[in-house]
Amino acid sequence: MKRSVTYHFLLFGPLFPLLLFSFSFAQPSPDTAELYLKCQPTNFTCDHVVYNEIKFPFRTDAQPDYCGHPNYILTCDEENKSLMMNIGDKPYHVRQNIDYDKQVLDLIDADLFSAVHLPNSCPEKITNTSISSLESSYLAYVTNDINLTLYLNCSISTILTPGKLFPIPCTSSFPEFFGQNAFFTLAKEHIEFSENEQCNATVLIPVYDQFNLGDFSSGTKNFSDVLMLGFGVKWTIGQTWCGNCTNSGGLCGYNVTSPNSPACFCPAGAMSNGTNCSPGMRPASVFFVSFLDLYSGKTCPRLIFANQMIILGILFCSLVNY
C-alpha cells in the first residue's frame, strides 16, 4: 500500500508546468484566508494572567484594526497589572471571563480597581459611569446591574434611614473628595434628605446586584466588598451577523477596504460572501490544492468541487488507487 513520494513525483512530475500555468492565470477574487489567519483568537497574557481566546469584537493592540471594533481594544496596564478597555475616555478593568455566547463582559471602573488591589483602601475619587458613553460603545447594562449611589460631603452625620444608607469609611482618607460625611446605598428608591441636611454631590456607579442591605447593617459586608463587584455589560456589536459568520466556520471582522462594513473571514478552501463562508474555491486553486492532497497521499473527494477537473480527477484517482 505505501508508496514513496518519489513515486508520486515521477508519475505527476510532468504535469507541473501545466499546473503552474493554470494557477497563474486564475482570476483574482476575494480571498480572506490570510485575514482569517491574522485574526485568529489569541491568548493574551497580562501580568501572568492568561486571557483566553480574545476575538471579535475585541482585539488586542497587537492585532490588525480589521480584527475587531475600534471601541473594543484590550490593552495591558503593566503598572496596575490588569487588562483594560476604554469606554469613552474612561478606563475600565476587564474581568477574565468574557462570555462570547451571552455577549457579556464584566468591568470595574479603573479608579475603583486600584482600591480593590489594596484591600480596605479607599479610591481617591469616584466618578459617574455615564450611560451615554456606554451606549456610544454599543454596550448596555445587564439585567442584574443596579446603581450604587454615593452621597458625598453631606451635612448630616446621623443616619436617618438605618438599614438603607450606610457610612462610607473613606472620609478620613480623602476628605477633599468625600467630605466630612459620606454615605452609600444600594436601594433602588431615591433617598430623601431633609431641607437642612444636604449632601454636596451624588455619584452613581453600576454594580452587580448581589447583596442584601441587611448584610451591611449586620457588618457581614462592607463598602470595600461593594467596590470589588464590578458590573456586567452586554455588547451589541455584530449581533445581527457575526453568529452567521462563525456558524459557517468563519471569523468576524471588518472589511479592510471599507472599515465600517462587517466582514467574514474564511479559512483556506472556503469563500466569503461578506457575512457567510461557503465551501468552494477558484477552479485553479482546487486543482492546485487537490494536486497537493494527492501528493501527500490523501484520497480525492475535494476534486468533486471542480467541475472542470472531474475528468482529470478521475484519472488522478485511478492512478493513485492503481
Ligand X SMILES: *[C@@H]1O[C@H](CO)[C@@H](O)[C@H](O)[C@H]1NC(C)=O
Least distance to ligand X, CB of residue 38, Å: 12
Residue 322 to residue 316: CA distance in whole angstroms: 10
Q: Which is nearer to ligand X, 22 or 224 (CB)?
A: 224
Exactly one of 85, 146, 252, 294 binds ligand X (CB under 6 A); which one?
146
Helix, strand, or coil (residue 141): strand
> Per rule CB under 6 A, is residue 252 in the interface with ligand X?
no
Which parts of 102-131 interact with ligand X (CB under 6 A)?
A: 110-111, 114, 120, 128, 131
Nearest to 111 by CA among 230, 225, 24, 286: 230
Q: Which is nearer to ligand X, 272 or 285 (CB)?
A: 272
Least distance to ligand X, CB of residue 130, Å: 8
> Per rule CB under 6 A, is residue 278 in the interface with ligand X?
yes
Q: Which is nearer to ligand X, 19 or 204 (CB)?
A: 204
Q: Which amino acid is at 125?
A: K
Exactly one of 23, 100, 141, 193 binds ligand X (CB under 6 A); which one?
141
Coarse DSSP helix, strand, coil percentages of the chain, rounded to the nearest 5 percent:
30, 25, 45
Q: Which amino acid is at 168?
A: I
Residue 29 to residue 285: CA distance in whole angstroms: 11
End-to-end CA distance of the chain: 10
Bond preceding residue 57 cis, omega within 30 of 0? yes
Residue 101 to residue 246: CA distance in whole angstroms: 11
Nearest residue to the partner ligand X, using Cβ: 243
Q: With the CA atoms of 211, 216, 218 and 221 taken in that order, what torsion angle do they form, in degrees rounded to the nearest 10?
A: 70
Least distance to ligand X, CB of residue 213, Å: 15
Residue 35 to residue 40: CA distance in whole angstroms: 9
Q: Which is nearer to ligand X, 8 or 38 (CB)?
A: 38
Q: Which is nearer to ligand X, 46 or 146 (CB)?
A: 146
Least distance to ligand X, CB of residue 64, Å: 13
Helix, strand, or coil (residue 304): helix
Exactly one of 30, 70, 163, 259 binds ligand X (CB under 6 A); which one?
30
Tallying the residues shown for the chain, one arrives at 322
> Per rule CB under 6 A, is residue 236 in the interface with ligand X?
no
> Per rule CB under 6 A, is residue 96 in the interface with ligand X?
no
Query: Where do contacts with ligand X occur on this chain (CB under 6 A)?
Result: 30, 32, 43, 52, 77, 79-80, 110-111, 114, 120, 128, 131, 141, 145-147, 153, 169, 176, 179, 200-204, 206, 222, 224-225, 240-241, 243-244, 255, 257-258, 261, 263, 272-276, 278
